[in-house]
Each structure stands twice: as C-alpha cells, then as structure tokens.
Amino acid sequence: MYSPSISGVAANSESGSRIFVYEVEGMRQSEATDQTSNPIRRSGSVFISVPYERMNQEMRRIARMGGKIVSIRPSNSAPETNNGKVAPEAGLQSQKSGEKTKPMTQAKEKVQVPVNLYKPANPYIGKCISTEELVREGGEGTVRHVKFDISGGKLHYLEGQSIGIIPDGTDKNGKPHKIRLYSIASTRHGDDVDDKTVSLCVRRLEYKSPETGEKVFGVCSTFLTGLEPGDDVKITGPVGKEMLLPDDEEATVIMMATGTGIAPFRAYLWRMFKENNPDYKFKGLAWLFFGVAYTPNILYKEELEQLQQEFPDNFRLTYAISREQKNVDGGKMYIQNRIQENADQLWELVQKPNTHTYICGLKGMEGGIDEGMSAASSKYGVDWAGYQKQLKKEHRWHVETY
C-alpha cells in the first residue's frame, strides 16, 4: 500500500545508520512485503528502504527474487513528486541566477567558480617559469610539466578546471592558431603555494600522417613542450565545472586516469595531502587508477608513491601498465581490467552518497570502465546504465576525455 512518507524515513536513525531507498522492478509484491519492513508499490515498481549496512545483502536477495534495481538513493536526498517518481532536480538548490547548485558534497562552501576571466581576443600573457620532462628513460614520447607565472593579472582557478593556450604562429591560412584546452595540474594555490602560478601536464602529440606516412607533431603541444623559461604564453580561461573537487573533506574520490588525464588528479591529490589549507583537511578516501604504457611513463611516479606511503589509510594507488602487466586472461593490462578486478569494491563505494568518480584522459577509456561496473552491479540486479545516469544527475560521475 502507498505510504506518503517514503522520504520521511530517517536518513540517520538513532543508531546513526543511513537509510537508502531501492526502486525495484519485476518483484512480486508478496516477495517484497514478506521480507521488508517498508515496501511501497507504485505502477510496477517497489520502493524498499534499506539500512546502509544491509545494502549488499538486500541486493542479493532482490537479485535472487528476479527483481531488478532501477535506482538507489539516500532516503532524504530526493523527495518524491505526487505521482511517486523521483523529481529529476530533487535535492538541488536554486542559486541567485536560477542555476542549480551541486547537491550534497558540492554545496558545503560557496566558492565562486571563476570562468573566462581571459577570452581569446584578449588573452593573459603568462611567462614560462620552468619545464620538466616527466617521461623517464625507456618510456614512450614526451610529456612535460610546465609552470607559468600568472602573478601579473586576475587569472585564478580551481582544481579540475582547464585553461586555453593560443600557440604562437599562424595556421596554413595565415590566421592565428585556435586555442587548445589543457587541464590544470596544480592546485588553486599553484605549485609554489603562493597563488602566483599555474601548471600543465602536456604530452607532445605525435602521429603518422595517414596520407603521407610522415611523422606529424601537434601544433600546440609541440609549442608548449618546447617552451623555455622566460618565454611568453597566451592564456585564456579558466573554463570547466565538470571536474571540480567536492568540498566535503570526508568524501570518497575515485579517480581513473590515462596518460595526461592525471593532470586534474595531481591537483586534487596535492590539495588533499600536500597543502596545509585551514579550510580543507581531507579525511576521506582517494583512490587513483592510473593507466600508462610503460613504467617510465608513470607521470609524477615518485610523488604519488610517496603520498601512498605517507597516507596509506586515505590514498590508494592502482596502476595499469598495459605493455608490462598482464590481465587475468593473459592480455594487456588496461585500466578497465583494474576496474574489473576491483569492481565489487568500487560498486560498493559508488553507492555511498558522498562518493565522486572522475574519469580523465584518452577518449574511449569510458567503455571498458562501464563494462567493469556493469559486471559488478549486475550481480546485484542493478542496471549500470540507469544507475550511472542517476549518478550523473547527482553530479557524482564526472568525465573529461579528449
């Protein structure tokens, strides 16, 4: 029978247990009612309240009964509308502009997100301060960590944003080159923690022309990786709100990177573990999955491993080294194989309402990650595509691939 108070179930009971609501399809009412204290049936769906500590057990039971979980949410996160459906924007608050703010972990502190402080018509002229090769001997290609002085203007940014670079010179039509975007690899305070710099992690694009077979180097990446200290650089932005780090110090932050996709995660990790910020003391769990071709291609390897040693309870580091490690089937070890190996744990983590998952790097890396997550969630009768849609709606599944 319909109970109007599904969202009235205490999210935190007296014992401190959190309650979640599963929307389940395909389960006979008697099966649901027989074994649960609070099933609510609505046009083909059953809504079941489950304490956090019983979530996996309940999922297994539902799967055994042939039920399919179509959504899971904390009982207080998304009040239902009159017709029993979860309101798409439920839990989101309105800003002055009418724009929606991020729910839960993103909404703690109102930090203004700077956007387009410098536009292509009038870019900021930064100066290269330092440039450092990140690929060690035996590795593939060139990736450089490049730091710019931005102390002379109003440019500032947050972790997870990108800046635009306009390379010097002109294109084949004699026009100035267009901007290219690069993820910022430093925290909002910069590598020297003095609010005066921004850093990038740039791979020099190199490929064989399909037409001539000649080696071709990318325009902007070659420009950036070839900079010398003292050189000027035209910078635009910052841009991007997709990859912002939650303010919640207790959050679980799962990061999946390939190659230079590590850039925003370097910024997160430095903010979490290297800086001493009075307003942000990370106490949650950060888990980085990092895919590269060879060990010498592990960018920022020493620092990452140092962090893992210093903060074993708060930082996990999992490499996928495709040309050196083998997956369970004897094939190359890609990031998706690591996701599959850890899928059950990841599945459990993504269900926590303060878990954010970030994917950054090569286009195409998402497919394998979805496969891994899908395999794990299907064990509990959950359709991954639908569940992921919900995570995206809640701003807890973040993707930036290029």
Rounded to an integer, what distance in angstroms lies between the CA atom of residue 398 and that of residue 248?
16
Active site residue 360: yes
Q: Is 183 in the site for ligand FAD (CB under 6 A)?
A: yes
Q: What are the distances in angstroms from CA 364 to CA 141, 344, 360, 387, 391?
A: 20, 22, 10, 20, 20
Q: Is 220 in the site for ligand FAD (CB under 6 A)?
A: yes
Q: Which one of 135, 150, 245, 263 is in contact with ligand FAD (CB under 6 A)? A: 263
Please report how close the Cβ of residue 256 comes to ligand FAD at its closest, in angstroms: 15
Active site residue 128: no
Q: Is 400 in the site for ligand FAD (CB under 6 A)?
A: yes
> What is the footprint of ligand FAD within residues 87-146 (CB under 6 A)?
none
Of 45, 49, 75, 183, the catalytic one is 183
Residue nearest to ligand FAD (CB): 218
Which region, judged by CB under 6 A, interacts with ligand FAD, from 12-20, 121-129, 220-228, 330-338?
220-228
Number of Cβ within 10 Å of residue 124's Cβ equals: 20
Please report how close the Cβ of residue 105 comes to ligand FAD at its closest, in angstroms: 22
Sheet of strand 232-239, all strands in order from the earlier edge strand to the far edge: 180-183, 162-166, 232-239, 124-133, 143-149, 197-203
Of 132, 305, 324, 402, the catalytic one is 402
Q: Which one of 61, 68, 180, 393 is in contact with ligand FAD (CB under 6 A)? A: 180
Q: How many residues bind ligand FAD (CB under 6 A)?
A: 20
Which region, judged by CB under 6 A, interacts with ligand FAD, from 68-76, 199-207, 279-287, 377-385?
199-207
Whichever of 220 and 343 has its CB closer to ligand FAD, that residue is 220
Of 22, 124, 157, 182, the catalytic one is 182
Number of Cβ within 10 Å of residue 312's Cβ equals: 10
Which region, judged by CB under 6 A, interacts with ligand FAD, from 50-58, 213-221, 332-340, 364-372?
213-221
Please report how close the Cβ of residue 292 comes to ligand FAD at its closest, in angstroms: 14
Please report how close the Cβ of residue 287 comes to ligand FAD at its closest, in angstroms: 21
Is the Cβ–Cβ distance between 151 and 129 less than 8 Å?
A: no
Q: Is 218 in the site for ligand FAD (CB under 6 A)?
A: yes
Active site residue 182: yes
Q: Which one of 90, 193, 205, 349 is in contact with ligand FAD (CB under 6 A)? A: 205
Rounded to an integer, what distance in angstroms lies between the CA atom of residue 377 and that of residue 20?
16
The radius of gyration of the chain's CA atoms, rounded to the nearest angstrom, is: 23
Which region, judged by CB under 6 A, interacts with ligand FAD, from 204-212, 276-284, 296-304, 315-323?
204-212
Q: Which one of 146, 202, 257, 343 is in contact with ligand FAD (CB under 6 A)? A: 202
Rounded to an integer, what distance in angstroms lies between the CA atom of residue 339 and that of residue 278?
34
Q: What are the distances in angstroms from CA 133 to CA 58, 258, 268, 345, 402?
A: 51, 17, 21, 35, 22
Q: Which one of 105, 221, 340, 377 is in contact with ligand FAD (CB under 6 A)? A: 221
Which region, judged by CB under 6 A, interacts with ligand FAD, from 64-72, 179-187, 272-280, 331-339?
179-187
Q: What are the distances in angstroms from CA 80 to CA 42, 376, 393?
A: 12, 28, 15
Rounded to an integer, what distance in angstroms lies between the CA atom of residue 178 and that of residue 167?
8
Of 23, 360, 377, 387, the catalytic one is 360
Which region, judged by CB under 6 A, interacts with ligand FAD, from 168-176, 201-209, 302-310, 383-391?
201-209
The tokens describing 85, both together, are 């459906």
Q: Which one of 50, 78, 198, 201 is in contact with ligand FAD (CB under 6 A)? A: 201
Active-site residues, by number, are: 182-183, 360, 400, 402
Residues at the contact surface with ligand FAD, assessed by CB under 6 A: 162, 180-183, 201-203, 205, 207, 210, 218-222, 260, 263, 400, 402
